[in-house]
Amino acid sequence: MNPGFSQLQPYPFERLRGLLAGAHHAAGLPLIDLSIGEPRQPVPALIRDALVGQLDGLGRYPNTPGSDLLRSAIADWLQRRQDLPTGAVDPARQVLPVSGTREALFAIAQCLVDRQPGARVAMPNPFYQIYEGAALLAGAQPLYVPCLAVRGYQPDFDAVPAAAWRDVQLLYVCSPHNPTGRVLTLDQLKTLIELALRHDFVIASDECYSEIYPDDAAPPPGLLAACLALGLDDFDHCLVFQSLSKRSSVPGLRSGFVAGDARLIERFLLYRTYHGCAVPEHVQAASVAAWQDEAHVSDSRAGYRRKLVQAQQVLGMSAPQGGFCLWLPVPGGDDLAFTRRLFVDWHLRVLPGSYLAREQDGINPGAGHLRVALVAAESECAEALQRLSRALSA
């Protein structure tokens, strides 16, 4: 048995079920679930139509690299979205379709970590738990980079000593960050790239929340744009992970991509050839339609913006810089007790922040916070925010 299994912790939603076991709401309010970041908007018609129109593809094995058409659609989207020159992304060598970012973010560690003694995988803390599980099952130890309130919830990369960076083989970053909603600036991304080149580790940039942001004129910067700003047109040591789940509200499609350093893409393609996780042809067809259209993304972003503006008004808080999650301090600092009270008194299901982080130096950076995912319908979110406001002021 892989020894990493002994270090895995229960997934946050399993822990939440345990926390709420035996808890009952008696006031008759309908349950509003804001714990899972699953978009609940209607599937865009163009994606549904493209999916159904290619069902004959079920009669064929898909190939692991994906179709030329899909890789080109992804490369074109990256160039438009990141304001990269035409031809900056080679669809044949620098793009690989994947079955959603969750699978790919896990698999990249299994592909790249060389399992030498002392190998580390760095990640922000709090974090998407896939990063930690990927590190442990690849034979590495996590290196947690704290995201504390005193630093505006930005990961404190300066707190990591140079000696520790020398053992890092892979760094996960997430911008906009799940769960805090903070965005890394172009200068911060450039600094991380320079650090990766100096210490010879790979950056895996999880950008699956990048299309949800408050100002249409100021989208979050991406890792590939930072590479070109440094003159690295080969995207050396850098990989970007992107998904249609949040961007296009199709989490069940399980479609995304990894793009960047061709040398790393080549090795990852070889790994995936053995892994047996090629994207089916009908999913590829739907993905092409999604990457080629921005109108449905703009409509979705506007809906999230309305919810976030209402959250600012009702809760008197600053909006996240990106994504659809609120990262809320709780009265008294006990996020577990407050989560349970929200369920019992107000029939709201949210996620305790401490479940998304690990204690380091006696501090759990997620403790005393809630992650509230504004994914329900606008009317439900409006009702949930009113309940939450009353609970916070009680």
What average pLDDT does the chain have?
96
Lowest mean pLDDT among 86-90, 112-116, 364-368: 112-116
Average of pLDDT values for 230-258? 97
- 3-state SS, residue 328: strand
Q: Taking 90 as the threshold, does the pLDDT of residue 324 lie above it? A: yes
pLDDT score at 270: 96
- What's the pLDDT band for 151 if we cut at 50, 70, 90? very high
- What's the pLDDT band for 120 if we cut at 50, 70, 90? very high
Q: Taking 90 as the threshold, does the pLDDT of residue 330 lie above it? A: yes
pLDDT score at 194: 98
Residue with the larger pLDDT of the pair 115 and 32: 32
pLDDT score at 303: 97
Separation of CA 164 from chain center: 25
Average of pLDDT values for 228-241? 98
- What's the pLDDT band for 300 if we cut at 50, 70, 90? very high
pLDDT score at 275: 85
- 3-state SS, residue 196: helix
pLDDT score at 182: 98
- What's the pLDDT band for 277 if we cut at 50, 70, 90? confident
Under a CB-based contact definition with an 8 Å cutoff, are residues 375 and 38 in contact?
yes
Could you tell me which residues come within 8 angstroms of residue 384 by beta carbon, excluding any fewer than 6 positions away? 32, 34, 348, 372, 376
Average of pLDDT values for 376-387? 97
- What's the pLDDT band for 339 if we cut at 50, 70, 90? very high
Q: Taking 90 as the threshold, does the pLDDT of residue 394 lie above it? A: no
- In the block, tokens 């939603």 appear at 13
- What's the pLDDT band for 276 if we cut at 50, 70, 90? confident
